[in-house]
Structure 1
Amino acid sequence: MRSSIPGSATSSGARRRGVRSPAARAPGSPDRPSAAFTGVLRQPGPLLGALVLAAVAGMAVLAPVLTPYSPTRNDLVHSLEPPSGAHPMGTDLLGRDVLTRILYGARLSISLGLTVQAVSVALGTALGLLAGYYGRWVDDVVTAVTTVVQAFPGLLFAIAVMAVLGPSVTNVLVALALVGWPTVSRLVRGETLAIKEQLYVEGARAAGAPDVHILLRHVLPNCAGPIIVVATLGLGGTILAEATLSFLGLGVQPPAPSWGSMLADARDRIWDAPWLMLYPGLAIFVTILALNLLGDGLRDVLDPRLRE
């Protein structure tokens, strides 16, 4: 006798074939993550951002192949030469090729930005999960520390940390990571507070699943979308903050190439050698714009409220 319940045969057949029904999926989890990212690349803005970022990263990796010059070796004979065939973006006061220094500066900015975001996301995610899931005194402590850090403007807090630790690449990483993790922590905490009340989490808890399993298997995957968006947008802010610290003399120290230090060296030559400020400024502008375009596209796709 056939079942009189519509769809019961289809559901049982799906269970026999090992296919999970939509109701069995955790709310908020994307059905096809690859399809979500494919949707990002179908939009003109995010696609342009992704292509520009790929080009910048590719040129940074291939810098030794693309240019024959050293980013740190002085050549006073060719000091302050305007853009030409030999030097497409001109040379600086010490005769160093500007294009070469921009390419090697991209290496430093991108690698430092990725490292800072990795540390910020790891620390912020861990603290946000603990605060949102356990609550009580854990939430109070994490929220208090987060509030104290965010009470100061981010750049001023980073400058204060650099003033204490001293200028170096490692200290820049520490300062910017200390500034960046509270944003991730607050986001993950809010998401965890909502997710832990869902029925599938309550069911896992009632079945005796340990807290680590629940956090890693059920809570964290549903926070992945917002974390990716915040990390992508935060990468642009990190690159800009590193350039600002280097511009002020608190970041990467000469002769290492940095977009911020190149702008600082160009302050006194803005009228007689405008290319010294133009090209590093364009590099910062284009990179951050591309990151923001990609981040906006990811937000539109990964945020379920915007998808609806």
Structure 2
Amino acid sequence: MDLSPFKLDIDELINEFVEGEFTTLADMKRVWLSRKFTYIFEASPPTKLAFFMQSLYAHTIGHMISTSSLSQRLGGLYCLYCLYETQPFKPPFKIYFSLGELKKLKNLVINAKEHGIKVVPALVKRMLEKNMFLFGFVDLHEGSVSETVNQLTELQDARVQVAYKKLFDDTRIEQFLHMDMGMEFDLEMLKKMSTEYAEAKKHAIREANKAVDVQNIQHISDDREFIGDEVERITENWNVQRQVFYQQTGLNQRHAQKDEQQQQPQHKKHEQQDDDFGDEFSHQLELQLIEEEQLQQKEEDDESNHELEL
């Protein structure tokens, strides 16, 4: 996917803002409207929209955290805000923001305050209140956009992929009853990712608090149950319910008996064959005894008849 034309449009937009020596959000809105910049989304690709938006965000953030003039950095911030607010996607794609980039944003807010540009701290506060950012530990360099987007979507896709595979590849109830939910969802990795993201949010709020008032959004970083802990709780409850089901239906016992029968040792088969042979031998011996008794009885009868004739 060639995003060079989109990045060039962003460069030209911010350059016009810089050439006019503008510093306010109102100035950026005028430049934005004059260039009809919202039409940038008309040419968005039909697929990989997350990659598309994160690429635009990353390129714009590059202007915002650069070492160039204050006007260019402000242009990057305002452009980033406008890209988020004008995107046609529902729900909107959040802006991936690393902790390193957050520190540079804090410095930008401080510089803006020093120059009396009051709209900047108010704007950053608004962006935080609207929860526009998706905080992470890794800097989103343009060369690693695809990899980072995959990492961001991995968590939410994992459960859908597992459910799809289980429901369509194998619908037998035994497969679901005997599966290990913790292993299916890679519980340890899930807990690690959710913990890291929670820590990133807390750190982001603490850093932002040094430059702007974040009292109204402090609840975002408050301790709450992580998704990894929630999945672990569901897994434990699943195991309990599964055991109750086993006790009520005896399904697990029958499953174990089936496995035991399939794994029956060869000597058990030989013992069964020996028992069958013994039963057959006993039956033959019984028939032989009956025949001998009948023969003896016949001889006795013949002898008795002979005595009577005499």
The structure having more radius of gyration, on CA atoms, is: 2
TM class by smaller structure: under 0.3
Structure possessing the higher relative contact order (Cα contacts under 8 Å, 6 or more residues apart): 1
Q: TM-score, normalised by structure 2?
A: 0.27
TM-score, with structure 1 as normaliser:
0.27
Bigger helix fraction: 2
